[in-house]
Amino acid sequence: DGDYDVVVSDVDVDIPPCNSSRRIAIYENINGTFNDPYGNTNFEWVTNSYDVALLDINNDGLTDILSGKCNGYDVIMSNNCALVATSADYDLDGIPDACDACPTNPSPDCSEEVDYPVISTDNSMARQWNEMLLESIRGDYARPTVHARNLWHCSMLMWDAWAVMEPNACPAFMGQNYAGFQAPFDGFIPSTDIVIARDEAIAFGMYRLLQHRFANAPQAEYLMTGYDVHMDTLGYDVNFTSTDYSSGDGRALGNYLASQLIAFGLQDGSNEQNDYTNTSYTPLNPPLIVDLPGNATVLDLNRWQPLTLDVFIDQSGNTIPGETPDFLSPEWGQVTSWALTDADLTSYTRNGFEYKVYHDPGEPALHDMNGLGTSYIYVDGHSMVARWSGMLDPTDGVMWDISPASIGNNDTFPTTLDTYATFYDASNGGSPSLGHSIIPSTGLAYEANMVPRGDYARVLAEFWADGPESETPPGHWFTILNYVSDHPLLVKQFQGEGVVLDDLEWDVKIYLSLGSAMHDCAVSAWGAKGWYDSSRPITAIRGMSELGQSTDPTAGNYHPGGLPLIPGSIETVEAGDDLAGTLGENVEKIKLWAWKGSSAINNVDTEFAGVGWVLAEAWEPYQR
C-alpha cells in the first residue's frame, strides 16, 4: 500500500534455550498505526528466528524473506503476483517474472523452444503450407524474383490439388502448355473422402516441392526438420513416395504434382539448376567501394554498378560470402510466365543475349554531362532521394497523419517522365493523397493517427527494403493477404460475389490470384531492370557530387552535370564549416542534409544515426 511496515526479530541465541518458540513479529502500518495481523499464528519460518533480512533475491519485483534460525536459515520466496513492484521480465514475454510460470521461456504456454518452424494446424491445409513457404523464404537468401516464382508454383500446386476434384474447375498447371512444357494428366477420382484427398495432395505436394526448392538454403536444416515435423503432426508418412495417382490416392497426386513442377522449373529459363546465376549479364561499371568516399571508378552514371561492402547481410539476415553481390536476376525476362504474351513483349539484344521486356516502360531519364536531354529529370529524381533521406529523424518535430483519412486513394498517377516531378512533394516528402472520408463499414470518419514523419518513413523503408528474417516484398503481399483473410469482418466471397466459400476454397483461389500476378510482375519488372541497367541512387548521387554543383556557373566547383544547390538540403562546404576538414580540403565540395549513415551508430540496439550535414561523396542510403 506504499506504507513502510515493520519486521522485528529478537532471539538471543546466547541465552538458552534457543528453541524457545519465540517468533518474528510483523507489524502492518495502517496510516501510522501498527497492528500485528498474524497474532500468535506460528509459521515454520517465523518461530525461533533470531535475525531477518528483507530483500528481492531473484529480482522479480517481490520482497523475499531470509530468516536466520538457531541452526541454519530459511529462505521464503514471495510468489504473490499481485504484489509485483517491478517489471522484471527475463524472457521478454511481457509477463513479469513473479507472475510467469516459466520466467526463462518466452512461450506463453511454457512449451519448449524448438529449432524448426512450427505451423498451426488450425487453418486450412493450403494456409498451413503457405505459412511454411513464407517461413522458408525467411530462411533462404533474399531473392524477390526467385521467391515470387516459388509463390506462384506453390499456388498452382495447391490450386490443382483442389481443382482436379472440383467438377467445374480447371487445373492451372497440369495439362496446360507453358512455353512448350506440358505436365501429362489423365484426370483424378479420389478413392477416399474428397476432403481427405485434397488435404493429402496439398501436404505431400508442398512437402516435396519445398524440400527441393530450399535444399540449399542457409537455414536448410532448420527448414527440413520443420517440414518433417509438420507432416508427422498431420499424421502423414513421408516415406510414401509413389507418384501413381491412378488409384485415386491423394498422396500420390501430391507427389506427382511436385515432380512435374520441379521438372518445369528446371527448364523455365530461371537457371535454377545453377542456383539462378546470370548466364550473360556483366556490369559495365567497376564496383563502388562504399566505405571509400566518392565514386572515382564509375564509367557511366546511367548504368548499374556493383557495391563492394565490408560485410553484406541480405534482406533475410544472411551474411553473403564475398563482398560484391551480383545484379539479382537481370535476365529474368527469360523466365516462363503465367499470362504474359508476345503482345506484351519487346525484345532487345546486348552482347548477343536477348533481353525480354514485358510491358516496356521505355527508356528512363538519362544523365548528360552537359545537362541536356532528360538529364534534368535524372538529376531531380536522385536529388529528391538525397533530400528525403534527410527526413528520417523522428525528433525533427514533423508529424504526419498516417490514418486512411490522409493516406492513399490517389486517382491520378504520372504517365510521362516529366510529370513525376509534380507528383512527389520533394520539399516535405510523400505524394498528394486524397485519403478516405469515411469508414465504409460504419459511415464514420477515420480518427487521425499522428506519428513522427521520421519514424513512419524509416518503418516503410525497413519493411519494403527489408530487414533480417524477411519474406521479401512478394512474400509481404502474402502476409498482408493472410492478415486480411483472418479479419473478423471479412466475408469470403470470391471477388465479393456469390456464395461464401469454405476456408480451403478461399485460400487456393486467393493464392493463385496473387501468386500468378506476383510472378508476372517480377518477370516484367526485372526484365526491364536487366535491359535498361539503370544506376542506383548511391552511384548517381556520389558520381554527380564529384562533378560539382550545377546551379551557379559563376561559383566554384561548377559542372553542368553536377548536383543542384538547394538551400537547407544541398549546399557547398564553406571555410569554417564542420565538414571543411583540417586543412580545408573539403571546401567547395557538396554537402547534403541527410541520414548520417551506419558509421554514426556504435550500438545498433540503442542508437540511431539521425540526420545532419554529410559530404555527398560519402552519402549512403538508409539501412536498418
Please give the sequence-ordered ranges of beta strands (E in DSSP) within 419-560, or none if there are none: 450-452
pLDDT of residue 68: 81
Query: Which of 109-113, 298-302, 606-610 reaches the highest mean pLDDT?
Result: 298-302
Helices and strands of the chain, counted as H and E runs: 11, 17
The dihedral through the CA atoms of 331, 333, 337, 342 has a sign that is negative
CA distance 331 to 193: 45
Look at residue 112 and tell me whether its pLDDT is greater than 60: yes
Please tell me whether residue 349 adopts helix, strand or coil conformation. strand
pLDDT of residue 468: 60
Torsion angles phi and psi, residue 174, rounded to 5 = -65, 130
C-beta of residue 147 within 8 angstroms of C-beta of residue 129: no
Look at residue 331 and tell me whether its pLDDT is greater than 80: yes
| 139 residue type, one letter | G
pLDDT of residue 245: 98
Give mean pLDDT, residues 250-273.
Answer: 98
- Label residue 40 exposed, middle or buried (CB < 10 Å: 0-12, 13-18, 19+): exposed
Angle between helical axes of 250-265 and 144-163 (0-180°, round to 10): 150
Look at residue 149 and tell me whether its pLDDT is greater than 70: yes
Q: Out of 305-309, 314-318, 416-420, 587-591, which region has the weakest mean confidence (pLDDT)? A: 314-318
Q: Tell me the pTM.
A: 0.81
pLDDT of residue 209: 98
Instruction: Give per-residue pLDDT as tens, 32-87.
Output: 888 887 766 666 666 777 788 888 887 777 788 888 877 778 887 777 665 555 55
C-beta of residue 333 within 8 angstroms of C-beta of residue 526: yes
CA distance 478 to 126: 13
Give mean pLDDT, residues 101-128.
Answer: 85
Query: Which of 40-44, 289-293, 469-473, 582-586 reaches the highest mean pLDDT?
Result: 582-586
Torsion angles phi and psi, residue 612, rounded to 5 = 175, -170
- Residue 208: its H or E element: helix 194-213
Look at residue 18 and tell me whether its pLDDT is greater than 70: no
Query: Which residue intervals of 214-367 are DSSP H helices?
Result: 220-234, 250-265
Look at residue 322 and tell me whether its pLDDT is greater than 60: no
pLDDT of residue 370: 97
pLDDT of residue 577: 96
Four-CA torsion 302, 305, 309, 311, nearest 10 degrees: 120
Average pLDDT taken over every residue of the chain: 90
Determine the length of the chain.
Answer: 624
Question: Could you give the C-alpha distances from 459 to 327, 467, 622, 623, in angstroms and in order?
Answer: 25, 10, 11, 11
Please tell me whether residue 221 adopts helix, strand or coil conformation. helix
Question: Could you give the C-alpha distances from 550 to 56, 367, 547, in angstroms and in order?
Answer: 67, 13, 9
C-beta of residue 357 within 8 angstroms of C-beta of residue 334: no
Q: Out of 115-129, 541-555, 597-611, which region has the weakest mean confidence (pLDDT)? A: 597-611
Q: Out of 24-28, 154-158, 276-280, 292-296, which region has the weakest mean confidence (pLDDT)? A: 24-28
CA distance 352 to 358: 19
Instruction: Give per-residue pLDDT as tens, 213-246.
Output: 999 999 999 999 999 999 999 999 999 999 999 9
Give mean pLDDT, residues 155-161.
Answer: 98
C-beta of residue 144 within 8 angstroms of C-beta of residue 237: no
pLDDT tier, 11 (very low <50, low <70, confident <90, very high otherwise): low
pLDDT of residue 312: 55
Q: How far apart are the first and last CA of the chain?
A: 45
CA distance 537 to 421: 16
pLDDT tier, 95 (very low <50, low <70, confident <90, very high otherwise): confident
Paired residues of 90 in beta bridges: none
- Label residue 298 exposed, middle or buried (CB < 10 Å: 0-12, 13-18, 19+): buried
Residue 382: count other Cβ atoms within 10 Å of its Cβ: 23
pLDDT of residue 37: 78
Instruction: Give per-residue pLDDT as tens, 282-320.
Output: 999 999 999 899 998 899 999 999 999 875 565 555 655
**Mode of pairing for the β-strands spanning 450-452 and 570-572:** unpaired
pLDDT of residue 599: 85
Query: Which residue intervals of 424-502 are DSSP H helices?
Result: 453-465, 472-485
C-beta of residue 498 within 8 angstroms of C-beta of residue 582: no
Instruction: Give per-residue pLDDT as tens, 182-225.
Output: 999 999 999 999 999 999 999 999 999 999 999 999 999 999 99
Look at residue 605 and tell me whether its pLDDT is greater than 90: no
Give mean pLDDT, residues 367-384.
Answer: 97
DSSP letter, residue 551 = S
pLDDT tier, 609 (very low <50, low <70, confident <90, very high otherwise): confident
Q: Out of 177-186, 235-244, 412-421, which region has the weakest mean confidence (pLDDT)? A: 412-421
pLDDT of residue 16: 60
CA distance 335 to 341: 12
Quick one: what percent of the chain has pLDDT higher than 90? 69
Identify the structural domains of the chain with CATH numbers, from first to last: 6-99 (no CATH), 125-274 (1.20.144.10), 403-448 (no CATH)
pLDDT of residue 487: 95
pLDDT of residue 109: 73
More confident residue, 75 or 324: 324
Paired residues of 48 in beta bridges: none
Residue 260: count other Cβ atoms within 10 Å of its Cβ: 22
CA angle 203, 207, 209 (to 5 degrees): 120
